[in-house]
Amino acid sequence: GPALLFAKTSQGKEEGRRFYACSACRDRKDCNFFQWEDEKVSEARLAAREEYNRNHQPPFTHRENVGRYKSFLLLPLSKRRFCQECQQLLLPAEWEKHSDHQFLCDITTAQLKSPSQLLYPLENKKTNAQYLFADRSCQFLLNLLTDLGFRRVLSVGTPRLHEMIQSKASQEEEFSVRSLLLDIDFRYSQFYTEDEFCHYNMFNHHFFGGEAAHETCRKFLHEENGEKVIMVTDPPFGGLVEALASSFKKLMAMWREIEKEGHAKEEMPMFWIFPYFFESRILDFFPSFSMMDYQVDYDNHALYKHGKTGRRQSPVRIFTNLTPSLIVLPEEEGYRFCTICQRYVSPGNQHCEICNSCTSKDGRRWKHCALCKKCVKPSWFHCNNCNCCTLQKHSCEKTDVGCFVCGKAGHKRSSCPSLSCP
Ligand code: SAH
Ligand code: ZN
Ligand code: ZN
Ligand code: ZN
Ligand code: ZN
């Protein structure tokens, strides 16, 4: 889809020539597209790019994959193979071509219903950053949204939530929730029809399936007069908040297109799952959102895993435009309701009398600094030199602009330690 226009900034000012680069891959190694904004592109280069794109299409279209899936289902267990190297369901006629690849045999219907377990997670940090929900968190999200009365879920970059909804719906008769998955991972087109999955780029709101896919999404949002639908998204954490927000606003606008009295000011309900240190960035674009204390855990993320003992705290939270008091967090995990803040908070989150709010962001008990006039992390001290609270070990110098992500000095957002697992 379309590239994004980037500008280098220093001290808040734009500097130098602006350029276009790939919206989805933040690493030039994954996609080398680069073009100056004012560059004249020759016919030859244009043709070369088109040629390159043609040669880098997936082996089958979504439609073809749907047909292949049907044929696959008709095969006896002994003939159901999945190529691990190509991440592809194989039909017997294709075995030959993959003979020196690793493959899985006897693929059961249950396996076909949980593709997120069958496919390997694309952990490539800068592009896909596929971190799958731990069962506990996925269950919690699903229970939460069904308890709130939602019946349709627009799953944007949440394949595991989508999968849990799909398999529950096929197993339990009374369970009537449906989900539409929008994701850039085209491997999922092998397992879902065109009404269940759209190949989508959330950094530029591009539907690879064109107008038909657009229409699928629009129809889904407009069912039941647009009621009972919620969007749940869990984007890669290295992603540009600005680009994501712009796409999400377009999805919200799509929902709002319904002609209905008194709808004008409403927003499509949304859960945006993202680390807490992005709170101010998200609120810049969505002032109606608030951050919930619930810690979202992942299966394949060493840092954000929920352990029985010595649990590491996940920095990932739910941002929502729903009324905070409606978001009931599990009391058996220690969350409790603060009657003053009118929301559920972490066990360690103490209501600060001075700030008049439960101020902890990371789940630990924060302390109030009278000089800074706000609550700060427990490990921080007020430095009279810097005139603010910071780590005791720091060099007292007013640095220029800090990291775009965490605000700290000494590194750029691309190498922000809060985004990667060491
Ligand atoms: N926790 C979620 C997965 C989140 S990982 C779950 O368990 O369901 C981020 C997801 O966003 C991945 O599925 C990845 O394929 C998808 N993604 C990454 N970049 C994307 C993009 N540019 N557009 C759409 N989806 C993207
Ligand atoms: Zn293969
Ligand atoms: Zn409180
Ligand atoms: Zn305070
Ligand atoms: Zn201070």
Asked, for residue 217, whether it belongs to a domain, the answer is yes
Count of the separate structural domains present in the chain: 3
> What's the gap in Å between 229 CA and the centre of ligand 1?
20
pLDDT grade, residue 4 (50/70/90)? Answer: very high
- Quote the domain boundaries for residue 76: 62-107
Q: Looking at the domain assignment, is residue 375 inside a domain?
A: no
Q: Whose CA is nearest to atom 5 of ligand 1?
A: 130
Q: Is residue 66 pLDDT above 90, yes or no?
A: yes
Which ligand 1 atom sits nearest the alpha carbon of residue 273? 1
* Closest ligand to Cα 369: 5
* Same domain, residue pair 246 and 186: yes
**235-288 pLDDT per residue, tens:** 998 889 999 999 999 999 999 988 666 556 689 999 999 999 999 999 999 999
User: Which of 184, 198, 317 for mutating ligand 1's site (highest number of atoms within 8 Å of CB)?
Assistant: 184
Residues 99 and 204 in one domain: no
Both 25 and 40 in one domain: the answer is yes
Question: Residue 145 is part of a domain; what is its CATH number?
Answer: 3.40.50
Residues 38 and 173 in one domain: no
One domain, residues 82 and 224: no
- Cα of 80 from ligand 2 centre, angstroms: 14
Q: Is residue 399 part of a domain?
A: no
Asked which of 320, 347, 374 is the last residue of a domain, the reply is 347
Question: Are residue 155 and residue 240 in the same domain, yes or no?
Answer: yes
Where is the domain boundary, 347, 381, 414? 347
How much is the average pLDDT of 216-235?
A: 96
From CA 384, how far away is CA 394, in angstroms rounded? 12
Write out pLDDT tens, residues 303-345. Answer: 555 544 445 689 999 999 999 999 999 999 999 999 999 999 9
When pLDDT is averaged across residues 113-131 and rounded to a whole number, the result is 80
Which atom of ligand 1 lies at the shortest distance from residue 131's CA? 5
Pairing of strands 178-183, 197-201: parallel
Are residues 302 and 212 located together in one domain of the fold? yes
Residues 196 and 337 in one domain: yes
Considering the domain architecture, whether residues 295 and 232 belong to the same structural domain is answered as yes
Q: Whose CA is nearest to atom 13 of ligand 1?
A: 157
In a domain, 177, yes or no: yes
Confirm if 314 and 304 have CB atoms less than 8 A apart.
Answer: yes
Residue with tokens 């349709």: 152
Evaluate whether residue 275 is within a structural domain. yes
The set of residues, in sequence order, having a beta carbon less than 8 Å from that of 417 and lying 6+ positions away, is 406, 411
Greater pLDDT, 304 or 199 = 199
Question: What's the average model confidence in pLDDT over 205-214?
Answer: 97
Which letter, b or e, does each residue of 29-46 get, where b requires 16 or more Cβ atoms within 10 Å of its Cβ? eebeeeeeeeeeeeeeee
- Of 49-63, 194-208, 318-332, where does mean pLDDT reach its minimum? 49-63
Q: Cα of 361 to ligand 4 centre, how many Å?
A: 12
Confidence grade of residue 396 (pLDDT, cut at 50, 70, 90): confident
When pLDDT is cut at 50, 70 and 90, the band that residue 400 belongs to is low
Residue 21 lies in a domain: yes
Which CATH number do you get for residue 103?
A: 3.30.160
**Ligand 5 mean position to 235 CA, how many Å?**
33
Same domain? For 151 and 243 the reply is: yes
Predicted local confidence at residue 308, as pLDDT: 45
Q: Is residue 365 part of a domain?
A: no
- Residue ending a domain, among 347, 365, 380, is 347
Is there a domain that residue 369 lies in? no
Ligand lying closest to the C-alpha of residue 365: 4
Which residues does 393 contact at the CB level (< 8 Å), separation at least 6? none
Residues in the chain: 422
pLDDT at 309: 42
Question: Which H or E run includes 19?
Answer: strand 13-21
**Pocket-forming residues, ligand 1, beta carbon under 6 Å:** 24, 128-133, 157-161, 183-185, 200-203, 234-236
The residue whose CA has the least distance to atom 18 of ligand 1 is: 128
Residue owning the nearest CA to atom 2 of ligand 1? 158
| Together in a domain, 70 and 214 | no
Q: Does one domain contain both 222 and 292?
A: yes
283 alpha carbon to ligand 3 midpoint, in Å? 20
Ligand 1 centroid to residue 214 C-alpha, Å: 19
